[in-house]
A and B are shown apart, each in its own frame.
Chain A
Amino acid sequence: MKRREFIRNTGMASLAMCTGDGFAKSMPQNKDAIIGHGDFRYKIDLNWGALNSTFHPLKDCHEMVMDKRKRIFLLTNHTKNNVLIYNKDGKLLDYWGTEYPGAHGLTIHDENGEEFLYIADNERHEVIKTTLDGKVLQIFPCPMESGKYESIEKYVPTETTIVPNGDIYVADGYGEQYILHYNAKGELLNIFGGKGSKAYHFDNAHGICLDNRTSTPTLLITARQQNKLKRFSLDGQLLNEIELPGAYICRPVIKGQNVYLATIWSGDGSPGTGFVSILNGEDKLVSAPGGCLPHYEENALSPVYQALKVFHHPHDVCVDDDENLYIPQWNTFGTNPIKLIRV
Chain B
Amino acid sequence: MASQISFAQNHFAKTEMFKLSTPKIEADSLLFIKRATIIAKSGESGSTVYFKRDGQQHTYQSPIVLKESEWVSFWSEHPDFESSDLQTIEVVKITHSMVDSELIIEPQPNEAYNGKGWKTLVDLEKGTTNFRNGHSWLGFQKETITISVKLKKPTMISKLQMGILIDHGSWIFSPKAVKVEASKEIIGTKEFEAPSTAESSESTFLTIDTIPRVYGELVVTIKALDAIPDWHPGKGTVPWIFIDELLIEP
Determine the distance from Cα of A54 to Cα of B170 in the docked complex, in whole angstroms: 27
Q: Which residues of B have CB within 8 Å of A306?
A: 21, 43
Q: Which residues of A have CB within 8 Å of B21?
A: 273, 305-309
Cβ A270 vs Cβ B24 within 8 A: no
Give the segment of A26-34, A175-183, A191-199, A321-329 that binds chain B: A26-34
User: DSSP majority for the B interface?
Assistant: loop
Give the segment of B58-66, B101-109, B128-136, B219-227 that binds chain A: B128-136
With A51-B4, A56-B3, A291-B43 known to touch, is A271 a contact of B170 (CB < 8 Å)? yes
| Contact indicator per residue, chain B 35-65, by CB within 8 Å of chain A (1) or not (0) | 0000000111100000000000000000000
Closest Cβ of chain B: how far from A95's Cβ, in Å?
9
B112 within 8 A of A: no
With A52-B4, A268-B129, A271-B201 known to touch, is A309 a contact of B20 (CB < 8 Å)? yes
Determine the distance from Cα of A54 to Cα of B4 in the docked complex, in whole angstroms: 10
A79 within 8 A of B: no
A1-47 residues with Cβ-Cβ distance < 8 A to B are 10-11, 28-33, 43-47
Cβ B5 vs Cβ A50 within 8 A: yes
B80 within 8 A of A: yes
| Contact indicator per residue, chain A 254-266, by CB within 8 Å of chain B (1) or not (0) | 0000000000010
Give the residue among A29, A225, A267 with the most B Cβ atoms within 10 A: A267
Give the residue among B12, B15, B128 with the most A Cβ atoms within 10 A: B12
A293 within 8 A of B: yes
With A29-B16, A31-B15 known to touch, is A271 a contact of B169 (CB < 8 Å)? yes
Q: Which residues of A have CB within 8 Å of B43?
A: 291-293, 305-308
Report the nearest A residue to B8, measured CB to CB: A47
| Contact indicator per residue, chain B 80-117, by CB within 8 Å of chain A (1) or not (0) | 11000000000000000000000000000000000000
B179 within 8 A of A: no
Q: Which residues of B have CB within 8 Å of A33?
A: 12-15, 17-18, 80-81
Q: How many residues of B contact A (CB 8 A)?
A: 35
Q: How many residues of A contact B (CB 8 A)?
A: 41
Cβ A44 vs Cβ B79 within 8 A: no
Determine the distance from Cα of A331 to Cα of B167 in the docked complex, in whole angstroms: 14
Q: Which residues of A have CB within 8 Å of B15?
A: 28-29, 31-33
Determine the distance from Cα of A23 to Cα of B17 in the docked complex, in whole angstroms: 19
Give the residue among B43, B81, B169, B201 with the most A Cβ atoms within 10 A: B43
Cβ B20 vs Cβ A307 within 8 A: yes
Please tell me which one of the listed residues A50, A272, A341 contacts residue B7 in the complex, with CB atoms under 8 A apart: A50
Q: Which residues of B have CB within 8 Å of A47?
A: 5, 7, 11
Residues of B within 8 A of A (CB): 1-5, 7, 10-21, 24, 42-45, 79-81, 128-130, 132-133, 167, 169-170, 201
Can you give 14 contacting A-B residue pairs, CB < 8 Å?
A10-B10, A29-B15, A31-B14, A33-B80, A46-B13, A52-B1, A52-B2, A91-B4, A293-B43, A306-B43, A307-B20, A307-B21, A308-B20, A310-B18
**Apart from A33-B13, A52-B4, what are 19 other A-B pairs with CB-CB below 8 Å?**
A28-B15, A28-B80, A29-B15, A31-B14, A31-B15, A31-B80, A33-B14, A43-B12, A45-B12, A51-B4, A52-B3, A92-B4, A268-B133, A306-B21, A307-B21, A308-B18, A308-B19, A308-B21, A331-B169
Residues of A within 8 A of B (CB): 10-11, 28-33, 43-47, 50-52, 54-56, 91-92, 225, 265, 267-273, 291-293, 305-310, 331, 341
What 7 A-B pairs have minimum CB-CB distances, sorted nearest first?
A292-B43, A307-B43, A269-B130, A55-B3, A44-B13, A50-B5, A307-B44
